[in-house]
Amino acid sequence: MTETTKPLAGLKVVELGTLIAGPFCTRIMGEFGAEVIKVEAPDGGDPLRKWRKLYEGTSLWWYVQARNKKSVTANLKHPEGREFVRKLIAEADILVENFRPGVLEKLGLGWETLKADNPGLVMVRLSGFGQSGPYKDQPGFGAVGESMGGLRYITGFPDRPPVRTGISIGDSIAALWGAIGALMALRHKEVNGGAGQVVDVALYEAVFAMMESLVPEFDVFGFVRERTGNIMPGITPSNTHTTRDGKHVTIGANGDAIFKRFMKAIGRPDLADDPTLADNAGRDARRDEIYGLIDGWVGEHDEADVLATLAAAEVPSSRVYDIADMVADPQFIARHMFETAKLPGGKEFRLPGIVPKLSATPGGTEWIGPELGAHTDAVLAGLGYTADWIAVLRADGAI
């Protein structure tokens, strides 16, 4: 695959970010052909390099999150380091940053300055609370965004405290909004003749935007949605059940016709034909009865038999996958959801495939996350810096 086959080929993206939200936003762009130049501090770089499971001192997560990116080092506390970054941004189409609001302004790299250098710049700003409002100066990680945005409150069981999902979902959702916003801003510039602009994404708002009918239900009925465990509130049946052999199976039989097929498949044609259960409202009114019945049936059978019966009846269902299930599953494999690359030293490893699937201009992995500063000299040279000048900058601690 050549770079020109990718839909974002020709875009230059500068990343001033660490950890999750900003880097995930640019990861998406890099997977689809953008030239992503990641600016890191010379003294260690992005902390993600040392997070979670390490292989010979480097995070395996890093190799995925930073794939297709170029790593350059710049000391933003040094005037020459800041000048290098300013020149880099002056030639960029998109800047993605996830500092706390005001930090870049104090460094002389605020929007007004950057816009004067590059009027067409699209600046994606990811932060806990956004660039305005009374909370803007407070630190805010994904966990805070998930809590304030409503996700944590409704996650878990009603008799227990709220719980988190097992990944940093708030950061990832914000990153997706950032990528969407950047592409909308680019379209406005390229198609409508507009100028560059700021894409302001607050983590709590990114999560809040996913909260379905939470607002109108409260506003009209005063209804506060509470934690409901594994069921889908107001939609029945949709739940996770435990099999005889101790496995967990999720069943979504909330469509009217699907429910009828489901009941017939488990030997309850009487419920399939019960007019009071013909629609969701009727089924939800008898939710406890229905879930008790399904729990009983699933608990009498092993996972393989449960899934086979449901598949034959065309009832949406799945085992609850762990990663071992995923890497062995034919659907994942057929959809190319695993790629193979080599770690430094030559060891082969798998990394996740690219989403979404574009039929004509698919994304791909050109290289895994680079060593710290691997591209500094080449990028500086592209901006007109000589080898002697680069050596002086390095000796002076600017890069």
259-280 pLDDT, tens per residue?
999 999 999 999 999 999 999 9
Residue entry with tokens 């050109």: 366
Q: How much of the chain is helix, strand and coil, in % rounded to 5?
A: 40, 15, 45
Instruction: Specify the pTM.
Output: 0.93
Residue 2 has a pLDDT of 47
Cβ neighbours of 81 (radius 10 Å): 22
| Lookup: tokens for 85 | 């970054």
Instruction: Assign 392 a pLDDT band (cuts: 50, 70, 90).
Output: very high
pLDDT at 148: 97
Check residue 232 and give its pLDDT.
87
Of residues 2 and 97, which shows the higher confidence score?
Answer: 97
What CATH number does the domain located at 238-319 have? 3.30.1540.10
For the chain, the domains span 3-210+336-395, 238-319
Has residue 4 got a pLDDT over 70?
no
Angle ∠(170,35,349) on CA atoms, nearest 5: 65
> So what's the pLDDT on residue 1?
42
127-171 pLDDT, tens digit each: 999 999 999 999 999 999 999 999 999 999 999 999 999 999 999
Q: What is the mean pLDDT of the chain?
A: 96
Is the predicted pLDDT of residue 28 greater than 90, yes or no?
yes
pLDDT above 50 (res 303): yes
- Residues 319-348: what's their mean pLDDT? 97
Among residues 171, 295, 325, 329, the one annotated as catalytic is: 171
Question: Span 3-210+336-395: which CATH code?
Answer: 3.40.50.10540
274 labelled catalytic: no
Rounded to an integer, the average pLDDT of 387-393 is 97
H or E segment to which residue 238 belongs: strand 238-242
Distance of alpha carbon 307 from its chain centroid, rounded? 30
- Predicted confidence at residue 5, as pLDDT, reads 84
pLDDT for 272: 97
Task: With a cut of 50, say whether residue 3 has pLDDT above it.
Answer: no
**In terms of DSSP H, where are the helices of the chain?**
21-31, 60-65, 79-90, 103-106, 111-117, 142-148, 169-191, 203-208, 214-221, 256-265, 269-272, 280-285, 287-299, 303-312, 323-328, 330-334, 376-382, 387-395
State pLDDT tens for residues 80-115: 999 999 999 999 999 999 999 999 999 999 999 999
Contact 245, 271 (CB under 8 A): no
